[in-house]
Amino acid sequence: MRIIHTSDWHLGRSLETSKRYEEFTAFLEWLNSTIRSTRAEALIVAGDIFDNTAPPNRAQELYYRFLAGLVGSCCRNVVVVAGNHDSPSFLDAPKEILRALNVHVIGTMPGRPEEEVLVLESPGGEPVAVVCAVPYLRDRDIRSVEAGEAIDEKGEKLRQGLKDHYARVCSVAEATRLKCGEVPLIATGHLFTLGGQVVEDDGVKELYVGTLGHASADIFPASIDYLALGHLHVPQKVGGKNHFRYSGSPIAMGFGEAGQQKLVLLVEFSGRQAQVEEIAVPCFQALAKVAGSYEEIQAKLKTLVKENSNAWVEVDYTGDKILPGLQEDVLKLVEGSGLNVVRVKNQSLVRNFTAGTPNDVAIEDINEENVFQRFLEMSKVPPEQLDEVKAAYNEILTLIAEEDAKLE
């Protein structure tokens, strides 16, 4: 029994104004080919199929074309669960039609744990695996809200809610497996685990209230033979366990991921024992981050031009001198080359803004976090209250995102 585990495709994502459909197309074609060459019998996509809850038509077309391309292949079963970027109702809408193609979709958390348990079958109709197809669990799915709760109490309720949910679903799965023989029990999830590795500008956001909702490896039942996780973009193990894995995103979602080797994971079972092989994903579009003083930026850009690079570039100016015309200067440096400068970050102007002198600061050089940080400084929030205020701010952002998803 072989499965391929992937996640965090973020179809429809752009870098500033630069569309990425050629990259997504190339990746999905490569994935189809890899499934066939490895003779994988199942594919698990652990959330964030799309980049937002209302994906553009072209992103939807890529998704459905890919699924249709697996019909008749060695890949008899596909399991797709929603991530925090996905609209659960949007993913669920065609699930009955997709089931006829052996594509199992879990967008919304079902009302009963039995509905999250799937039995994958061989071409002959024999069970080959039992899957706990757990999607992204929203705060309201797993935690009751009480007035006057402290931040730590909210965090503990979230962790306990996650643990209880996996315990219920895995209990049903274990009972199901007893009827199927010695087949592996596979679980999915889309969450942030304790100690999870992230990189700057990877687009990975806290899911609940600050870091309090981070889950440790011990929330997952010991009966799980392989845990296929999504949400974190860096491929990694959970709690040092070789069979608890994040596959990571298949393409770099931000310049913080530039140069990072992307993977999909091929998991082969001998009975219930999982062997994990990391398969490198080719780089379909080079990204480059150029940072430093103006002189350093100038030298690095000239080197890229000399190398005939076609990279998409982020320029991050960290010098002390204020350079309001930096973007125009950078574009002149790369004029006529294959480089595409998609973002210029001018840290001198951001520092000017947070210091309370926002003159000459372009709106594209700041973000909502800069604005909130300046608000905290202007409001003179006592240091002992900062963590709680920031946690409340993150909670508000999470609730807004959840309400937006609910309306889709």
pLDDT in tens, the chain (408 residues): 999 999 999 999 999 889 999 999 999 999 999 999 999 999 999 999 999 999 999 999 999 999 999 999 999 999 999 999 999 999 999 999 999 999 999 999 998 999 999 999 998 889 999 999 999 998 878 876 666 666 677 777 888 899 999 999 999 999 999 999 889 999 999 998 888 887 776 666 555 444 445 788 899 999 999 999 999 999 999 989 999 999 999 999 999 888 899 999 999 999 999 999 999 999 999 999 999 999 999 999 999 999 999 999 999 998 888 777 888 999 999 999 999 999 988 876 655 555 555 555 555 555 566 667 666 666 666 776 676 677 677 667 666 655 555 554
Exposed e or buried b per residue across 384-398, where buried means at least 16 C-beta atoms within 10 angstroms of its C-beta? eeeeeebbebbbeeb
Residue 315 sits in the same domain as residue 275: no
Q: Are strands 77-81 and 103-106 parallel, antiparallel or unpaired?
A: parallel
Domain CATH for 225? 3.60.21.10
Residue 181 sits in the same domain as residue 306: no
Domain CATH for 317? 3.30.160.720
pTM: 0.84
Nearest to 66 by CA among 85, 43, 40: 43
Residue 133 sits in the same domain as residue 187: yes
pLDDT at residue number 279:
98
Residue 210 sits in the same domain as residue 335: no
Residue 228 sits in the same domain as residue 334: no
pLDDT at residue number 154:
75
Residue 291 sits in the same domain as residue 276: no
pLDDT at residue number 211:
45
Residue 322 sits in the same domain as residue 273: no
Domain residue limits at 395: 287-407
pLDDT at residue number 183:
95
pLDDT at residue number 17:
87
Residue 226 sits in the same domain as residue 97: yes
Choose one of 280, 301, 332: the last residue of a domain.
Answer: 280
Q: Are strands 226-230 and 241-246 parallel, antiparallel or unpaired?
A: parallel
Residue 61 sits in the same domain as residue 203: yes
Cα 95 versus chain centre, distance: 22
Decide if 106 contacts 80 (C-beta within 8 A): yes
Residue 268 sits in the same domain as residue 337: no
Question: Hey, is 396 helix, strand or coil?
Answer: helix
Exposed e or buried b per residue across 123-153, where buried means at least 16 C-beta atoms within 10 angstroms of its C-beta? eeeeebbbbbbbbbbbbeebbeeeeeeeeee
Residue 266 sits in the same domain as residue 291: no
Residue 243 sits in the same domain as residue 389: no
pLDDT at residue number 403:
59
The structural domain count of the chain equals: 2
pLDDT at residue number 50:
97
Choose one of 263, 280, 297: the last residue of a domain.
Answer: 280
